[in-house]
Amino acid sequence: MRDTSAHDNPSATRTFVDDAPGIPFMTSHLPWNLEFDPAVAPTTTRVDLGEPWVVSCRVGRMSGRRRAPEIRNTQGEYAAVLMVHSGTEILTQQGRTTEVRAGTAALWDGVRPVECFSAASLVKSTMFIPRALLAGAVPDFDSVFVRTIENSATLRLLTGWLDVSMRQTALDRDAAHTAGRMAVDLLHSALARTRGDVSDSREVLLLQIKDFLDRNLGDPDLTLDMVARANAVSVRYLHMLFQGTGETAREFLRRRRLERAQRLLLGSGPELPVAEVAVRSGFDSPSSFSRAYRTRFGVAPREARRQSTAA
């Protein structure tokens, strides 16, 4: 297995390429019990994008299962979205079976038994996401598993975005988090369209607005009026776009600011003052930042840094 991370950049995200014969999936996927065509050595590439990670792979004929032993050996709880680029993979979980063809996708649950099968060669990507990142934003979470996500503009945006991200071998941590966050937002959009909640055009506009908010997190004077004007919509329509996402536009902005603050606070070491973390994250004062941080994470910023350093 080659580690293609940038050795001179310790803050870079890491890319792993498995090119040895055998079963490379144990270093890139969740634990599975897998059987492969012995004539075709599987290959995988993994890139970490903050909390999610994505794996692309090529395999021959394949069958596999995740049951109680594999689930027990998994650290953390994840959901995974399978995106097939060439070939077909069949997924079975909780009595449901779906055929994931080229250009389509499906979500499976990492905390429940699941089986997969491919009768011929297969090229695919799989993004693994902590379940908590999806459960709060996807209504009726259990209903979306093992349902075909049909080809759509948002699904093509997701696969294209992940393809671009996979080509970057030395993303710094902030860039990796941004790429992962955008990928999860695109997945939310693809799932929403599959459920019939929104149209592609509305979801693309919502993603545009979220991207605008992410790019302007550091502006403490940013208002929803400014956001609406910059994206050529009314404030009322801006609020409508966020309906069904699990949070309002204001809550989304606050959450993103706190996520950025936590990365700066815990990843920068003691040299970046807490007051500077507040400024860079768009809070108008250290005291308002401290209150918001304590409400979200249950501990004051300085204490969170102290605990992180001590660990």
Task: Give me the CATH number covering residue 6.
Answer: 2.60.120.10
Q: Is-contact 154 204, C-beta < 8 A? A: yes
pLDDT tens profile 213-238: 988 988 989 999 999 988 888 888 88
pLDDT mean over 174-194: 81
Same domain for 9 and 104: yes
pLDDT tens readout for residues 279-288: 999 998 889 9
How sure is the predictor about 40, in pLDDT bands with cuts at 50, 70 and 90?
confident
73 found inside a domain = yes
- Is pLDDT at 71 greater than 90 in this prediction? yes
200: confidence class by pLDDT, cuts 50, 70, 90: low
Instruction: Indicate whether this model's pTM tops 0.95.
Output: no
Q: Does residue 71 belong to any structural domain of this protein?
A: yes
Residue 183 CA, chain-centre distance (Å), reads 5
- Which carries the bigger pLDDT value, residue 171 or residue 39? 39
| % of the chain beyond a pLDDT of 90 | 32
The answer to the question of residue 166 being in a domain is: no
Q: Tell me what the pLDDT averaged over the chain comes to.
A: 82
Distance CA 299, CA 311 (A): 15
Q: Which sign, positive or negative, has the C-alpha torsion 9, 10, 16, 21?
A: positive
Which pLDDT band holds residue 171 (cuts at 50, 70, 90)?
A: confident
Same domain, yes or no, for 143 and 29? yes
- What pLDDT score does 139 carry? 60
In the chain, the number of structural domains is: 2
- 223 and 118 within one domain: no
Q: Which has the higher per-residue pLDDT, 112 or 199?
A: 112
List strands edge to edge, sheet with 78-86. 2-3, 15-18, 43-48, 53-59, 122-130, 78-86, 105-109
What average pLDDT score do residues 141-169 get?
Answer: 85
Q: What is the CATH number of the domain that holds 248?
A: 1.10.10.60
Q: Which of 95, 132, 125, 137 is nearest to 110 (CA)?
A: 132
The answer on 11 and 144 residing in a single domain is yes
